[in-house]
Amino acid sequence: MTRRSAAPGETAAAMPDAPGRLRRLRNPALLPPVIVLACAILLIIATKLMNPGAGFGQQLAAVLVTSVFLVVAAFGQGLTILIGGIDLSIGIVIGIAAMMISVLTDGRDAALPWAVPLTLATGGAIGGVNGAGIALAGVPPFIMTLASGITFFGVGLGFTSGLAQEPVAPALGLLMSGHCYGVPIPILLIIAFAVAASVFQNGTAVGRKLYAIGSSAGAARVLGLPIAGLTILVYTLSGLCAAIAGLLLAGYSSAATLDMGTPLLLPTIAAVVIGGASVVGGSGTYFGTFAGAVFLSALGTVITVLSLSQGLRNVIEGAIIVVALLSQGDRWRQLWTWLQPQKRGRT
């Protein structure tokens, strides 16, 4: 079948470019998150089978509500990995933010207007310190974020003596347990955050510059991109996202401990990696990170239903990261090519 030729007076640009649209839909970068989301749905179905008393919609809502912390925190982690770094202080910042909002509000909603901005600013400041150490002092991201996490954990431990803080302001608890027109508020938060994060990472000039830095820092420097400033920005955003996750986690738990964010560190990395991002930077989408976060939350629900230990959960998450790393690069593209019949016929 031949393509229709342009009619008199009709330019080629005005003709519909169906093959071009089809090529965009066949983008290999979409394959990992699509597969991961499909696996998440299968896990939710498995949970439904193990718990017949709850409907599929209830199980889906429960998974999404518990994924909100990871959806938010993994965005910051994804940005650091995008530029070729990593943030190992995320778990500590989550715990510090949860402790701060609990101590500052002391169960009073009236304190939220100033306590929330102060808590978020503290998380962003910790991230900014990480970024400055990496961009200006040349400290490797692994060392810088690990050292700052240990340092700020020690500061928090000195102020709180490691004791749990409660109660949290009731409004935060209502935020995590309330509904709006029948929809859980955390799900609405996830939708709003996912849209904003996707637009920032994949639809803005700043996002494109981050991809350029991750692909080749040397080339980005030749192009005159402000690498130091963007690096500090990325780590500041990572700290800010961790602080937001800490606020939400404190509201969900109605209490706070300094180490309550530690179990989320490995999942933030896993969510980014299994979503298709390269650990060396320069690739990946927030759609992939979101898919990874939902998958890990669904997996956590299955593990909880099966009453498996936290240690086994860590083993499973670590194994998933290894499998995702082995599946990166050309393997996804080879599978995507194999799935297209017209290309298989040429091989």
Assign domain 34-41+57-327 to a CATH class: mainly alpha
What is the structure's pLDDT at 129? 96
The larger pLDDT score, comparing residue 341 to residue 229, is at: 229
- Once rounded to an integer, what is the mean pLDDT over residues 175-197? 92
Q: Judge whether residue 136 has pLDDT over 60.
A: yes
Q: pLDDT for 314-324, tens place per residue? A: 788 778 777 77
Q: Please check the confidence at residue 50 and state whether its pLDDT lies above 50.
A: yes
Mean per-residue pLDDT of the chain: 83
Place of tokens 């990871």: 70
Position 22 pLDDT exceeds 50: no
CA dihedral (213, 215, 216, 219) in degrees, to 10, reads -80
Domains in the chain: boundaries: 34-41+57-327
Q: What is the pTM of this model?
A: 0.84
pLDDT, average across residues 46-61:
78
Q: Give me the mean pLDDT over the 287-296 stretch.
A: 92
- The answer to whether the beta carbons of residues 80 and 258 sit under 8 Å apart is no
CA–CA separation, 122 vs 100, rounded Å? Answer: 9
pLDDT digits (tens, 9 = 90+) for 76-102: 999 999 999 999 999 999 999 999 999
DSSP structure class, residue 110: G
Considering only 130-144, 229-243, 257-271, which range has the smallest mean pLDDT? 257-271
Q: Which residue has the higher pLDDT, 155 or 238?
A: 238
**Cβ atoms within 10 Å, residue 222:** 9
Q: Which of 197-211, 271-285, 312-326 has the lowest mean pLDDT?
A: 312-326
Average pLDDT over residues 136-165: 87
Please tell me which residue, 22 or 317, carries the higher pLDDT value.
317
CB 6: neighbour CB atoms within 10 A?
12
Beta strands in 130-218 (DSSP E): 179-180, 183-184
Query: Does residue 228 have a pLDDT over 50?
Result: yes
**Contact present, 220 and 213 (Cβ < 8 Å):** yes
DSSP letter for 282, please. Answer: S
Task: Identify whether the C-beta of residue 260 lies closer than 8 Å to the C-beta of residue 98.
Answer: yes
Identity of the amino acid at 187: I
Give the separation between CA 65 and CA 341, rounded to whole angstroms: 39
